[in-house]
């Protein structure tokens, strides 16, 4: 059964319910501003791209699944493919990551894969995010969360953990908001 946010997204013409998570996060933390150059990691199905385009951002996206019918710069690759760096410059204002692994149902394995994607998002941010840029990363709460947050804090001036109200209550997903990247 679809929840009210999924139905609302469909009625409003959005490609997924995740748009409301990004809206809530941005309304609260102001990580994305009009005119920003934004890289969306794991951009399929495209609801975050829709929000970013509506915010008048220059949008780039990377995913293994193609996002159709939206006007943005799309790279059809896996985020682990280092050839993505040939297509990206190092002047993004914001990176958003809604990356999620294919789940197996094995809790420890799924959490580890999610954490690996978060570290990859941080690695990409270190290479292509401007000084003072912002990073938003979805992560599934796990026993190594503190370790990841510590690593993010080593690279950003402000770091906050946040669970949007739109997230399903039973979901372990939370978001790391990291502002003002430091060039170390």
* Active-site residue set: 138
CA atoms in the 13 A half-sphere facing the CB of 59: 27
Q: At which residue do the structure tokens 């941080």 appear? A: 122
Q: Are 76 and 63 in contact (CB under 8 A)?
A: yes
Beta strands at 37-41 and 92-97: parallel, antiparallel or unpaired? parallel
Alpha helices in 12-153 (DSSP H): 18-29, 47-54, 84-87, 107-128, 145-153
């Amino acid at each position: 059964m679809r929840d009210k946010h999924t139905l609302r997204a469909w009625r409003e013409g959005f490609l997924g319910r995740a748009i409301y998570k990004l809206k809530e996060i941005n309304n609260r933390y102001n990580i994305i501003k009009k005119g920003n150059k934004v890289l969306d990691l794991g951009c399929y199905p495209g609801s975050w791209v829709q929000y970013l385009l509506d915010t008048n951002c220059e949008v780039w996206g990377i995913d293994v699944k193609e996002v159709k019918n939206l006007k943005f710069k799309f790279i059809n690759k896996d985020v682990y493919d280092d050839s993505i760096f040939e297509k990206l410059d190092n002047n993004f204002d914001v990176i958003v990551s809604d990356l999620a692994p294919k789940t197996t149902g094995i809790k420890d394995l799924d959490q580890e894969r999610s954490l690996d994607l978060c570290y990859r998002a941080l690695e990409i941010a270190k290479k292509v995010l401007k000084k003072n840029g912002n990073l938003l990363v979805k992560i599934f709460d796990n026993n190594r969360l503190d370790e990841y947050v510590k690593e993010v804090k080593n690279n950003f001036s402000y770091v906050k953990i946040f669970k949007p109200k739109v997230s399903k209550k039973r979901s372990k997903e939370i978001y790391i908001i990291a502002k003002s990247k430091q060039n170390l």
